[in-house]
Amino acid sequence: MPSTKLTILSNGSVKIEGDFEIVDKEGGVYNLQGREVVSICRCGLSKNKPFCDGSHRGHFEHEAVAFDLPPKKTV
């Protein structure tokens, strides 16, 4: 079982659970205050990006259904 689980929620965010850290593009660490579950915005409407604040409700549609990616390209 992986130590981190990402769940893509239909019409919503990406829920992250487990042992993880989130960093910005410069490597700065977001202080999650001990949280083991957070949701990341996918719609772009959150005022608390990169975290979800629920702004997507009624404004974002995506049915999350798992699928296989094509084979990895090799050089």
- Give the DSSP per-residue string, 6-73: EEE-TTS-EEEEES---B-TT-PBP--TT-SEEEE-SSS--TTTTB--STTTTT--------PPPPPP
Mean pLDDT of 55-60: 92
Query: What pLDDT, on a 0 to 100 scale, did the predictor assign at position 75?
Result: 82
In-domain check, residue 5: yes
Residue 71 lies inside a defined structural domain of this protein:
no
pLDDT of residue 2: 67
> What is the domain range of residue 54?
1-66
Question: Is the residue at 51 inside a domain?
Answer: yes
How far is the C-alpha of 67 from the C-alpha of 52, rounded, in Å? 24
Number of domains comprising the chain: 1
Mean pLDDT of the chain: 95
pLDDT at 26 over 90: yes
pLDDT at residue 6, as a whole number: 97
